[in-house]
Structure 1
């Protein structure tokens, strides 16, 4: 587990995960995935906010995995957290998405908050086993913070607020209008039930239906000075949060591909008769079936190896704290963009073509094999993968980085 010192170079993370840590959290995630898998399709069809599912994550300790052990947290590393997201995505990518966003949202404590306030944020988050939802979507008009006394009033609407309606606190980004901090973008943390917050429940995508990603309305919500977590900046260390969420996406896509292949193999093994033109008796012995499985398995293995490398590198960079330079951040950004490209393309293809080895009966609604494709097809549209390919290409050809944003 991590040896954490909040005084070390403005970072609560040191070193990288050892095999014992990875094995521990992998096993915890596998147990939780088994629970989620048992009724994932039924819950997907209900489309309700995943409040009970988040209790399962809390009980397993996954919510507090990244928080420092000295405050009662799991003291784990980012690599462990990303692997947990991947494992859960094999069973229920919606719940895995909420957990991934929670890790990133609460990660702002370590990346962006004043070191003097970090202990209090960690202590409260661990004591309450908070799940951090967000209302940060950068493509929406920004929320407005109007100064009032020692605090602010928050007003506006944000769409695509993952985890907000189901979690314990909401991380929101807003621009200050007036006062000493006029024009500054701030991250604020608000109680889920704060007066003036309304969850619109308008998330109706074909996949990721339990990700609690509906719109949130803020109507003159009181924000105390103590609710302000940090300014939103492009400083290299603080802005590592964006490569972090892209790395989480890569692991979500990888987990979905792994889950789709595992389910497809299960269905293929249980088919008794081969196609009438085949030269074999058992469906699983058909060379066309074996070819597809071999192709998918090999490509998934390659993506998994890359994801593990990127997860380990993220910990190494996070441990640098203030020593993270623009060059170091840029190298990490591109490395993670490469994973985003291959994980997205691989997962969409696997989830789509897996039906080729499972036959017409696997298209029944009761089988639920479509859940994997619906989930990855929905989430892979979060930000266009073609722009990630351009991002990598511009770096390789010209050494050019895209401007730092909440997407790069």
Structure 2
């Protein structure tokens, strides 16, 4: 916790931990939105259109401004609460949960990068406008050029996997400057999604996460000014808490998918009549093999949930440290989050796949939609290889090593 006698303002408005009242309030709101999304989730998935109506639900509910400072009109909530909201929405619609998660993370760069005295102006604008923040930050796809032009820069190039950029109000972009006073700097800046020269290509064609608006964007002579800059990307540990944050958001996304698959499988199994002809049970729901599978899944999912809750609260405590976050502090929370990422990925994929074993052949009908959970987690879990998360955990456990700071570790 920051020194109460210090005259230096804390780096961000995030402090303390969420109490149960906060968690219950925002989870109830998220559950209400999830019920609305559930009405036509399969139809929307098949239509494969950008989720504009869905994002308006999130604006109307207040979820879009959940993490923003209360004194400026935001929700004033904690990161633990945001992760719970992502998980709750992912039980029904993981695509919409992903867009919201990315908006939370993208917008949080206001707090992680800007000095405290410059944050209020950005927060007021995003709160008043109920902005969703998409991004073009994919670090393994650096094909953007930012060149000096008339006191600012011009942005050109194509960025793939630009989640939320085609539906957001603002786009967070990273690009290396070529030429001028900032030559070679990797800068992070924000532009209006409707600016001249911004062209979403509509080429997102994945197995799952179909409504995550994760297609490519072409930028042609887009004007960027000093006022658009959030900062220069460095290896300062506090500023780089952004990566542990997005990794924990992913872990909660996968956990929510597993919970949603398990809930639908339970309903389908309870509705089944009779039992397998070789079984001594009267109904499938009483078959010992079915009970065993559900028992295993429930135990494993709840274990992941307990770990996710624990680490989510710990993340808030690290964020609160501000300038006191050292490389080792940041590395320790990254390792803890990698543990959650590993188990949420593997449990989520297994549960969403194997639930078909206990729901029967009729659950494979397209009209049932049980496949949506597996398609979504199978698609998004390829974002970055989970084996490298295992490497992170193993390297720390055996050798006390932390991985280099990056946008993946």
> When the two structures are superposed, what TM-score results if normalisation uses the length of structure 1?
0.98
Match of 2:39 in 1: 38
Q: Distance in 2 between matches of 1:177 and 1:7?
A: 35
Q: Distance in 1 between matches of 2:206 and 2:234?
A: 31
Match of 2:224 in 1: 223
Q: Distance in 2 between matches of 1:16 and 1:178?
A: 44
Cα offsets for 1:162-200 (capped at 9, x unmatched): 011011100000111111111111111010110001000
Cα offsets for 1:83-109 (capped at 9, x unmatched): 000000000000000000000000000
Q: Distance in 2 between matches of 1:37 and 1:293?
A: 23
Q: Distance in 2 between matches of 1:342 and 1:41?
A: 27
1:6-405 aligned at under 5 Å gives the runs: 8-405=9-406
Q: Distance in 2 between matches of 1:8 and 1:37?
A: 43
Residue 169 of structure 1 contacts residue 190 of structure 1 at CA under 8 Å; is this kept in 2? yes
2:63 alignment partner, SS class: coil
2:231 alignment partner, SS class: strand
Residue 395 of structure 2 contacts residue 401 of structure 2 at CA under 8 Å; is this kept in 1? yes
| Alignment CA distance shift 1:154-1:114 (3 Å) | farther
Q: Distance in 2 between matches of 1:7 and 1:295?
A: 51
Moved more, 129-138 or 174-183: 174-183
Q: Distance in 1 between matches of 2:177 and 2:112?
A: 21
Unaligned ranges ≥5, structure 2? 1-6
Q: Distance in 2 between matches of 1:156 and 1:323?
A: 38
1:201 alignment partner, SS class: coil
Q: Distance in 2 between matches of 1:40 and 1:9?
A: 42
> How large is the RMSD of aligned CA atoms in angstroms?
1.2
1:63 alignment partner, SS class: helix
| Alignment CA distance shift 1:149-1:114 (3 Å) | farther
Q: Distance in 1 between matches of 2:321 and 2:337?
A: 18
Shift, 1:68, TM fit: 0.2
2:379 alignment partner, SS class: helix
Shift, 1:7, TM fit: 6.2
Q: Distance in 1 between matches of 2:41 and 2:191?
A: 30
Shift, 1:9, TM fit: 2.5
Q: Distance in 2 between matches of 1:117 and 1:149?
A: 24
Q: Distance in 2 between matches of 1:129 and 1:178?
A: 35
> When the two structures are superposed, what TM-score results if normalisation uses the length of structure 2?
0.97
Shift, 1:147, TM fit: 1.3
Q: Distance in 1 between matches of 2:234 and 2:106?
A: 15
Q: Distance in 2 between matches of 1:229 and 1:404?
A: 19
Shift, 1:142, TM fit: 4.1
Unaligned ranges ≥5, structure 1? 1-5
Cα offsets for 1:223-250 (capped at 9, x unmatched): 1111111111221000000000000000
Cα offsets for 1:28-50 (capped at 9, x unmatched): 11111111111111100000000
Stretches (4+) displaced over 2 A? 6-9
Q: Distance in 2 between matches of 1:142 and 1:315?
A: 34
